[in-house]
């Protein structure tokens, strides 16, 4: 959905959804790790709702900001929660569970933002606070579905890659884990071509459509 908004309005609408998406996603990873035996994030004070503890200057601020300004496909990354997988009760299995917690957090936030969008559309009538909240709801849905689908890619350290490592036999899991040092270069290469956007576009569109259908959301008034 495209809205006729100024740059300042776009940044105001996207700021909270982006900060919430990366903050609560990382907190979910940390709490899952703690429940499974690793208290590293707790000891370092990283299980905090304070976004400043999770912001990566490039991945959370510069990259998403430029993509919002340029109108590109929105993506970014936080400062990862530190996890010592050797402290987990069953490291291989728990690796997948910790990764799945991040995906679950993004799914839950997408639903929460969709509820806000529905409330905003129902309560709003023309320009005003409710219209702004509706736009913010769309932004929240978009960034969380983008993070959800992006992290399903089977490339460690993305969640999809770590879940696959947890599911594969040990030999294949070790082979996949060796890709992790090169993952950033792989993602940058994908971003520089239309490949990444094509990989993410249809899954995001399908998930958004299913979400709108489930909550009976009609966004025609926002267009």
Instruction: Please pick, among 13, 21, 23, 26, the residue that the annotation labels catalytic.
Output: 26
Is 2 noted as a catalytic residue in this protein?
no
Q: How far apart are CA 111 and CA 105, in angstroms?
A: 10
* Exposure letters 73-101 (e unless 16+ CB within 10 A, then b): bbbbbbbebebebeebeeeeebbbbbbbb
For the chain, how far is it from start to end, CA to CA, in angstroms? Answer: 7
CA torsion sign, 218 to 22 to 11 to 71? negative
Could you tell me if 113 and 61 are in contact, meaning their C-beta atoms sit under 8 angstroms apart? no
Active site residues: 26
């Amino acid at each position: 959905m495209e809205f006729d908004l100024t740059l300042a309005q776009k940044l105001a609408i996207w700021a909270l959804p982006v900060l919430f998406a990366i903050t609560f996603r990382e907190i979910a990873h940390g709490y899952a790790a703690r429940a499974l035996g690793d208290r590293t994030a707790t000891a370092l004070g990283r299980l905090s709702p304070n976004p400043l503890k999770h912001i990566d200057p490039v991945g959370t601020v510069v990259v998403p900001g430029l993509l919002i300004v340029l109108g590109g496909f929105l993506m970014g990354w936080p400062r990862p929660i530190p996890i010592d997988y050797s402290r987990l009760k069953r490291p291989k299995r728990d690796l997948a569970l910790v990764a799945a917690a991040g995906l679950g957090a993004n799914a839950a936030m997408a639903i929460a933002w969709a509820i806000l969008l529905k409330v905003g559309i129902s309560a709003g009538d023309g320009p005003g606070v409710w219209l702004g909240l509706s736009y913010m709801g769309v932004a929240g849905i978009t960034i969380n579905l983008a993070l959800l689908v992006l992290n399903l890619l089977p490339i460690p350290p993305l969640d999809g890659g770590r879940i696959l490592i947890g599911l594969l036999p040990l030999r294949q899991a070790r082979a996949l884990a060796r890709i992790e040092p090169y993952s950033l270069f792989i993602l940058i290469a994908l971003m520089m071509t239309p490949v990444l956007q094509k990989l993410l576009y249809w899954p995001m569109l399908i998930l958004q459509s299913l979400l709108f259908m489930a909550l009976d959301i009609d966004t025609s008034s926002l267009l």
